[in-house]
Amino acid sequence: RRLTYLCEFTCLLPVKTRCFKHICGVSSSAVCKALTPVLHFRTLLKFFFKKTHFFCSNTRFHEGHCMSQKAEKPVLQGQRIKTRKRDEKEKFSPAQFRDSVVKGLNDAGKDLDQVSKFLDGGKLDYRRYSETLFDTLFAGGILAPGGFLVEDGAERAECCVFQSEDSVKALKLYNEMFCKLIRRYKYLEKPLCDEVKKVLMFLKGFTEEERSKLAKITGIFLANGFIPATVLNSLLEDQLVKLGLALDFTTIMFSTWLAERDINHIYSTLKRANMEGKLLLLFPLNKRTQENFEKHFSAAGLNAICDYQRAHQSSEDKKELKSELEEMIKNEENSSEIIPFVKDQMKKNNIGESEACVLVWNTIMNAVEWNKKEELVAEQAVKHLQLYAPVLAALTNSHKSELSLMCKVQNYCFSNIHLMKVFQRIIVLFYHADVLSEDTIIKWYKEAHTNKGKSVFLEQMKSFVEWLENAEEESDEEED
């Protein structure tokens, strides 16, 4: 209580003399130390230091004594703080934006040049309302979940993809309109991809004519590299596949795409998007076979798509064969077990001998862990090939397959420099194991060899080929 009276009295003094030292001859620091143990005075002391100039300018209230906090900035009570204009948040109103776009599109009519000029005006907030913009350009209004237009009594745009003619020529003009828009506003590129993904999921809510137009303009987009093929993942939704909508859509899309570009462009585009192996998934589960795939697309005149799928399926079958063969070699299974397995897979997947023997060679050579000492690799390779030479012998029943294997061995030894010196030993091994015939070896030596390391390999094979030719002449003389 005395301290309170003292504080009130001190407030009456001039500012320069408001200090304990002037009042009672006690220093400010001494007062602080005296008050530190008294915890219930903490609030009162805080009041002193904030509301009055109780101490002189050189007085310091140390954190170790009274645990003071940083002084708060003064705030005017009852004063309305005005928000800066740049900090004011505009109300999100897609319907109002839609109405502005629809009005501009309808004013431009069917003239897409005028539409492009309107969209290039820079008066609308495309960054904020990109989804609403593309909804309007595709469907003529805001799309609700399921693909239906929001029914709020608003006018529908007359100039949009769904209101255009169902022809590639007409839709190409819309493609140019989209190109101009994206070229002008680069940040709309990703929202466009998102929009295409969304509308593909809404196929069930569109009419058959609208789905046809959407499929054609999607094919045009993909042919021009306007959107990535990853948008097609939306077609793999179970409901779309089950109803056959995904398959019908892709059939029209591929027809449009192939009319613009070749099958190589389709293959490379799908491969970049990891979609090359998913085309079969467009068929319902009970029809998901290679036979049904070829039957459907052949009937649609898309034989190039059938060839593409057939080649991809063959590649997948070879990968599976290679994987299982590697496992058998690692488990050190005998050649007598490997040979029937490989032949069964060749028959099942329609793999030719030439392809099979090259595939088996690669698998045999990749399945072993080579010695780190280069001088020991040659001996290791010869011993390893002795084990599996019977497998290769069972797969080389024609000159074509023998020659394919020999050229493959040449290229492999050239690529692995530590095996270049052992090429002749491998060929001799294969000759004695009935993998290669003497006619094939002589033909390879004279004309069928590749250019990779040919001078080195021909020099190695010179003496062996001469021996084969002399042996052949001697056998002919004996017959005579």
Q: Taking Cα atoms as reference points, which of 103, 153, 169, 94 lies closest to residue 128?
A: 94
Give CA–CA dist 161/211, Å, rounded: 10
C-alpha Rg value of the chain to the nearest Å? 42
| pLDDT given for residue 66 in this prediction | 43
For residues 283 and 293, is the Cβ–Cβ distance under 8 A?
yes
Q: What are the beta bridge partners of residue 149?
A: 143
pLDDT of the chain, 480 residues: tens digit per residue = 455 545 554 555 555 555 544 545 544 554 445 444 444 445 544 444 444 444 444 444 444 444 445 566 665 565 566 656 555 566 778 889 999 999 999 988 888 889 999 998 878 888 999 999 999 999 999 999 888 888 877 888 889 999 999 999 999 999 999 999 999 999 999 999 999 999 999 999 999 999 999 999 999 999 999 999 999 999 999 999 999 999 999 999 999 999 999 999 999 999 999 998 899 999 999 999 999 999 999 999 999 999 999 988 888 888 999 999 999 988 888 888 999 999 998 988 888 888 999 999 999 998 888 787 777 888 888 898 998 999 999 988 889 999 999 999 999 999 888 888 889 999 999 999 999 999 999 999 998 889 988 899 999 999 999 898 887 666 555 554
Question: What are 145's two structure tokens?
Answer: 């979940």
| pLDDT given for residue 424 in this prediction | 92
Q: How far is CA 380 from CA 365, 415, 423, in A?
A: 11, 17, 13
For residues 397 and 353, is the Cβ–Cβ distance under 8 A?
yes
Question: What are 220's two structure tokens?
Answer: 């045009």
| pLDDT given for residue 69 in this prediction | 54
Give CA–CA dist 196/231, Å, rounded: 7
Q: Taking Cα atoms as reference points, which of 380, 363, 362, 369 lies closest to residue 327?
A: 363
Q: Taking Cα atoms as reference points, which of 453, 390, 394, 465 lies closest to residue 427?
A: 465
| pLDDT given for residue 153 in this prediction | 77
| pLDDT given for residue 478 in this prediction | 54
For residues 69 and 48, is the Cβ–Cβ distance under 8 A?
no
